[in-house]
C-alpha cells in the first residue's frame, strides 16, 4: 500500500507526515487526531476494489466480502502482534429503511466472516436511528452535522472493540460511532474495514 498513516491508514507523502514514536502519522492525525486508536484496511479504495465493493453492495455480489475479508484478516494479524485483539466486533449499522431496501448489511457480513475466522464475537449493540443522506460530495462539517445523533447504543460493551465497515472515506461515520462507544465506557475503539480511500 506504500507509505500509510499508522493511525488512519491514509496514504501519505513526505510533505504531510511526522514521525512520532516510530509510527508514521499523517498531518491530519497529528493536528486533529481521530477518536479511534487505529484503523486497519484490507486495501486502498481504488480499481478494481472500488468496483468489487460497489457490486457487493448494489448487485449482491456477496462473494467479494469473503475474499476481501480474508485479505483484511491477514492485515489485522500483522498489525496486532503486540496488542491484544478487540473483545467484540461491531458492524456499522444501516438504518432499518436502507436495510429493508438492500436486504442485507454488508458490514454485518464482513463482521460475521471475521468473527468466524478470528473467534471474536460479533455484537449488535449499535443501531442507526437516523437515516442519513448519502455523504458523497459533502464537506466534513456537513457530514458531521448529518451524523449527529445518527447512532444509538445498548449498554454492556467490552472495554476494547472494533467497528467494522466496508469502506471508510473521510472517517466521519466511524468517528461518530466511536464517539458514542467511548462515551458509554468503551476505552479503545479500532476500525476494521475492507477499503480506505
**Which residues are at the interface with Zn ion (CB under 5 A)?**
5, 7-8, 10, 26, 29
Q: How far is the CB of 107 from Zn ion (least distance, A)?
A: 22
Shortest reach from residue 5's CB to Zn ion, in Å: 3
C-alpha distance across the termini of the chain, in Å: 11
Closest CB 26 distance from Zn ion, rounded Å: 3
Q: Give 30 or 117: the residue with its C-beta nearer to Zn ion.
A: 30
Nearer to Zn ion, 93 or 171 (CB): 171
Q: How far is the CB of 138 from Zn ion (least distance, A)?
A: 20
When the beta carbons of 45 and 104 are compared against Zn ion, the nearer one is: 45
Q: Which is nearer to Zn ion, 7 or 193 (CB)?
A: 7
**Residue pair 161/186 in contact by the 8 Å Cβ criterion:** yes
Specify the residue for cell string 514514536. Answer: 21
Closest CA to 38 of 178, 159, 169, 184: 178
Q: Is the peptide bond before 93 cis (omega within 30 degrees of 0)?
A: no
Q: What angle (nearest 5°) sits at the alpha carbon of residue 80, between those of residues 112 and 17?
A: 110
Amino acid at each position: 500500500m506504500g507509505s500509510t498513516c499508522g493511525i488512519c491508514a491514509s496514504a501519505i507523502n513526505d510533505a504531510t507526515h511526522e514521525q512520532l514514536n516510530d509510527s508514521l502519522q499523517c498531518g491530519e492525525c497529528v493536528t486533529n487526531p481521530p477518536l479511534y486508536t487505529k484503523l486497519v484496511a484490507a486495501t486502498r479504495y481504488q480499481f478494481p476494489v472500488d468496483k468489487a465493493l460497489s457490486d457487493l453492495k448494489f448487485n449482491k455480489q456477496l462473494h467479494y466480502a469473503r475474499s476481501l475479508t480474508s485479505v483484511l484478516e491477514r492485515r489485522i494479524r500483522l498489525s496486532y502482534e503486540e496488542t491484544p485483539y478487540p473483545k467484540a466486533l461491531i458492524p456499522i449499522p444501516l438504518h432499518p429503511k436502507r436495510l429493508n431496501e438492500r436486504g442485507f448489511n454488508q458490514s454485518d457480513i464482513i463482521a460475521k466472516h471475521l468473527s468466524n475466522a478470528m473467534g471474536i464475537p460479533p455484537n449488535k449493540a449499535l443501531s442507526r436511528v437516523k437515516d442519513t443522506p448519502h455523504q458523497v460530495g459533502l464537506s466534513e462539517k456537513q457530514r458531521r452535522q448529518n451524523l449527529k445523533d445518527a447512532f444509538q447504543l445498548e449498554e454492556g460493551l467490552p472495554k476494547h472493540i472494533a467497528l467494522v465497515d466496508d469502506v471508510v472515506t473521510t472517517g466521519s461515520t466511524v468517528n461518530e460511532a466511536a464517539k458514542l462507544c467511548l462515551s458509554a465506557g468503551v476505552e479503545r475503539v479500532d476500525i476494521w474495514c475492507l477499503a480506505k480511500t
